[in-house]
Structure 1
């Protein structure tokens, strides 16, 4: 049984953000500090990638481990109530992510997915972004 009333649960879930999350901001800060410039949430691209690097034809998605089902991650738990609803919801999310990635690749874009839990190790995240984006000349 849910400890919150339906209206309280709705209010709580309404506070879950899709843009400008802490993990996304961490990725943006690192990319910017490395000298990369990017566009945010390009609606003209499949899935509205969190960061787009048009000159490099590369995009970065910052996925929450819970919502996007990070394989093997402890944050990718399933709620104990309404299990069928949550499994269907998560299945649609994973399916949509795969479709967006496939469409981007078909359009000639390289795609990187950064998981929420990966943003805790900033050194590893910095190396991952540098490897994906290539060497950036400092100004």
Structure 2
């Protein structure tokens, strides 16, 4: 008989809260997708830009080689809005540090393969972010002849 794994969560309430966090289709991500779509662009959602790299972008423009990531302020350590966890502060600080490290590695790997990476913070205005994305995609499509 296997022993149950002890949870890292500090309480049942924390565990429930963490389980309810969605990995995709969050409100900020949906708002960005709607805004990009309204500008006439079509994209793939929740795709790996590079098949060999286990990293999923929120919006992918394959022909233009643009990968868009919607980063949550807490999870990705937003310099403006990140808050320090009151409970298990060391655990969460390390988790955010590793996430930022992984984000930088993802950006580097994609850029080495000719991709443009756009990172959007969840607090950014979706339409302003969509305009940045559209400008990048249209510019790169022109450069790649699409």
Q: TM-score, normalised by structure 2?
A: 0.80
Q: Is the 8 A contact 2:44 2:59 kept in 1?
A: yes
- How large is the RMSD of aligned CA atoms in angstroms? 2.0
TM superposition shift of 1:122: 4.0
Number of aligned residue pairs:
129
Q: Which residue of 1 aligns with 2:23?
A: 18
Relative distance call for 1:6 and 1:123 in structure 2 (3 A) is closer
Of 103, 107, 117, 2:113 maps to 107
Of 133, 138, 144, 1:129 maps to 133
Write the distance in 2 (CA, Å) between the matches of 1:89 and 1:5. 15
Query: Does 1:62 find its partner at 2:70?
Result: yes
SS of 1:132 mapped into structure 2: helix
Q: Which residue of 2 aligns with 1:31?
A: 36
Gaps of 5+ in 1: none
Q: TM-score, normalised by structure 1?
A: 0.83
Write the distance in 2 (CA, Å) between the matches of 1:6 and 1:20. 26
Larger Rg: 2
Query: Does 1:82 find its partner at 2:88?
Result: yes
Relative distance call for 1:38 and 1:126 in structure 2 (3 A) is closer
Q: Is the 8 A contact 2:35 2:127 kept in 1?
A: no
